[in-house]
């Protein structure tokens, strides 16, 4: 394949920003598209567009104008029917238009994994009204988890301890839903020992590759810290890889998939899948010879990936805003970077709101415990302040 290529990124957040940087290091041209101006990836892209990605007309306009070789979705809320049209015209959609259509909604990917492929998942059901949710919740033991079928970064997700919490969970799920979906999924609460992300690299030609498993901790359904490698047995890794290969082969295409699992003492349980680099995978910015964004780019462009090498125990910890701010700045950056083996990524989001992820601290250590401590301490030193 000749370079440069023209890539259109649909969704221009912090993950997209790192992908743009990886793409431009190999001389490619990137258009970053999002629903608001000055999004993180727009700040480093060659061109940008502000549209509603739920508008087929808006998508048609920007694709017709820029004529990209590749369309690379980074978020869930996209009018995916248009991606099928673009692919039919010869534009490569990553990983494929069909895969993107499947994975934009939790119900489709869960049904594919459980009903069609027979993977072990939590017991689950769907509801489109509060009355349906009440009925389904009664059929699944408490506690349980309720979340929108379309959302990101844990928005709208809550743990339901008993019948008295169902109405609150329904309202919270709708408030956190992205796009025009009013459907929620309710699933049994798995009492897991560990949650992991298995970054799975599917190539146009060649074997499916895997990064070492990434452990992560969540609050409010959103990741707070991640570390690599997660402490799994060889058997658990083999089971997770087999399931990840099964589901990504069913979806097809090329690129990085973030495949999430619950790990218990007895089982490896499929949880979710994102057909793109994963937020917990930001730890690879410091932990691997090729980070998840470079791996995604190479897979997209059909470039070789000779080796994925873990450089040592590493961790990430998020930097959150505490309140709403129209303009933001950061203090404590020098203090955070004073510790050897630490680094930061400040995303450049133009505004803040409570608990919005504004950056991430990265660290390497002699072992996972040391790496996690260093990353957490570095993140705590950085404060998001108003201007």
DSSP-assigned letters across all residues of 341-385: TEEEEE---S-B-TT-EEEEEEEE-SSHHHHHHHHHHHHHH-EEE
Domain end call among 76, 93, 110: 93
In this structure, the strands spanning 70-73 and 6-10 are: parallel
Output the domain CATH number for residue 18.
3.40.50.20
Given a contact cutoff of 8 angstroms between Cβ atoms, the answer to whether 201 and 256 are in contact is yes
109 lies in some domain: no
112 lies in some domain: no
Say whether both 225 and 182 belong to one domain. no
Say whether both 199 and 183 belong to one domain. no
- Is residue 154 among the annotated active site residues? yes
Report d(CA 13, CA 348) in Å as an integer.
Answer: 9
Report d(CA 307, CA 178) in Å as an integer.
Answer: 37
Catalytic residue selected from 103, 152, 158, 287: 152
- Is residue 357 among the annotated active site residues? yes
Say whether both 224 and 318 belong to one domain. yes
Closest CA to 194 of 220, 169, 228: 228
Say whether both 199 and 159 belong to one domain. no
Closest CA to 365 of 234, 229, 233: 229
Say whether both 157 and 200 belong to one domain. no
111 lies in some domain: no
Given a contact cutoff of 8 angstroms between Cβ atoms, the answer to whether 360 and 318 are in contact is yes
332 lies in some domain: yes
Report d(CA 345, CA 320) in Å as an integer.
Answer: 12
Structural domains of the chain, count: 3
100 lies in some domain: no
What pLDDT is attached to residue 153? 60
222 lies in some domain: yes
- Is residue 177 among the annotated active site residues? no
Closest CA to 181 of 240, 232, 127: 127
CB atoms within 10 A of CB 327: 10
- Is residue 280 among the annotated active site residues? yes
pLDDT along the chain (387 residues), means of 10: 95 98 98 97 98 95 98 89 95 94 79 93 90 90 87 77 91 78 86 96 97 95 94 98 98 97 96 95 98 98 98 98 96 98 97 96 98 98 95
Catalytic residue selected from 260, 292, 356, 364: 260
Given a contact cutoff of 8 angstroms between Cβ atoms, the answer to whether 77 and 54 are in contact is yes
Catalytic residue selected from 151, 158, 280, 316: 280
What pLDDT is attached to residue 91? 97
* Strand, helix or coil for residue 238: helix
Report d(CA 306, CA 61) in Å as an integer.
Answer: 39
Output the domain CATH number for residue 183.
3.30.1490.20
CA dihedral 249, 311, 41, 36 (to 10 degrees): 80
- Is residue 153 among the annotated active site residues? no
Say whether both 42 and 137 belong to one domain. no
Output the domain CATH number for residue 198.
3.30.470.20
What pLDDT is attached to residue 167? 92
User: 80: domain range?
Assistant: 6-93
Say whether both 265 and 317 belong to one domain. yes
Interacting residues of 182 by C-beta distance below 8 A, sequence separation 6+: 128, 174
What pLDDT is attached to residue 180? 60
Catalytic residue selected from 154, 156, 176, 215: 154
What pLDDT is attached to residue 109? 86
Say whether both 222 and 345 belong to one domain. yes
CA angle 317, 273, 271 (to 5 degrees): 85
Domain end call among 50, 74, 93: 93
Catalytic residue selected from 279, 281, 298, 359: 279
- Is residue 69 among the annotated active site residues? no
87 lies in some domain: yes
293 lies in some domain: yes
Angstrom CA distances, 73 to 187, 274, 277, stand at 27, 11, 10
What residue spans of the chain are helical by DSSP H? Answer: 14-25, 56-66, 80-88, 97-103, 106-111, 130-139, 166-176, 234-251, 284-287, 292-301, 333-337, 368-381
Domain end call among 93, 114, 138: 93
What pLDDT is attached to residue 246? 98
Say whether both 132 and 13 belong to one domain. no
Catalytic residue selected from 132, 272, 343, 370: 272
Say whether both 200 and 184 belong to one domain. no
Look up the pTM and report it: 0.92
Report d(CA 309, CA 287) in Å as an integer.
Answer: 9
Say whether both 208 and 338 belong to one domain. yes
Closest CA to 363 of 350, 351, 379, 348: 379
- Is residue 206 among the annotated active site residues? no
CA dihedral 79, 28, 40, 222 (to 10 degrees): 60
Say whether both 160 and 225 belong to one domain. no
């Amino acid at each position: 394949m000749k370079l440069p290529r023209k890539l259109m990124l649909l969704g221009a957040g912090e993950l997209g920003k790192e992908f743009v940087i990886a793409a431009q290091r190999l001389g490619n041209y990137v258009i970053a598209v999002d629903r608001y101006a000055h999004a993180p990836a727009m700040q480093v892209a060659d061109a940008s567009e502000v549209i509603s990605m739920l508008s087929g007309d808006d998508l048609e306009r920007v694709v017709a104008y820029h004529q990209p070789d590749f369309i690379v979705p980074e978020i869930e809320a996209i009018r995916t029917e248009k991606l099928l049209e673009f692919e039919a015209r010869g534009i490569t959609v990553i990983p494929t238009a069909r895969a993107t259509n499947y994975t934009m909604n939790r119900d489709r990917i869960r049904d594919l994994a459980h009903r069609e492929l027979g993977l072990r998942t939590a017991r689950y059901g769907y509801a489109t009204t509060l009355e349906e949710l009440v009925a389904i919740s009664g059929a699944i033991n408490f506690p349980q988890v309720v979340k929108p079928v379309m959302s990101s970064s844990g928005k709208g997700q809550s743990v339901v301890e008993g019948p008295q919490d169902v109405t609150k969970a329904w309202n919270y799920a709708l408030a956190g839903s992205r796009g025009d979906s009013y459907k929620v999924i309710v699933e049994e609460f798995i009492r897991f020992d560990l949650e992991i992300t298995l970054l799975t690299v599917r190539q146009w030609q060649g074997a499916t590759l895997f990064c070492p498993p990434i452990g992560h901790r969540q609050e409010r359904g959103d990741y707070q810290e991640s570390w690599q490698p997660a402490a799994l047995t060889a058997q658990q890794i083999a089971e997770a890889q087999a399931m990840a290969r099964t589901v990504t082969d069913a979806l097809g295409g090329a690129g990085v998939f973030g495949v999430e699992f619950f790990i218990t003492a007895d089982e490896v349980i499929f949880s979710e899948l994102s057909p793109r680099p994963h937020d917990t995978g930001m730890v690879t910015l410091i932990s691997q010879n090729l980070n998840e964004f470079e791996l995604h780019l190479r897979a997209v462009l059909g470039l070789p990936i000779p080796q994925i090498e873990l450089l040592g125990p590493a961790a990430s910890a998020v930097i959150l805003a505490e309140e709403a701010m129209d303009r933001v700045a950061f203090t404590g950056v020098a203090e955070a970077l004073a510790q050897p083996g630490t680094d930061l990524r400040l995303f450049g989001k133009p505004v803040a709101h409570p608990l919005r992820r504004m950056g991430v601290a990265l660290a390497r250590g002699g072992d996972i415990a040391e790496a996690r401590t260093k990353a957490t301490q570095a993140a705590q030193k950085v404060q998001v302040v108003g201007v």
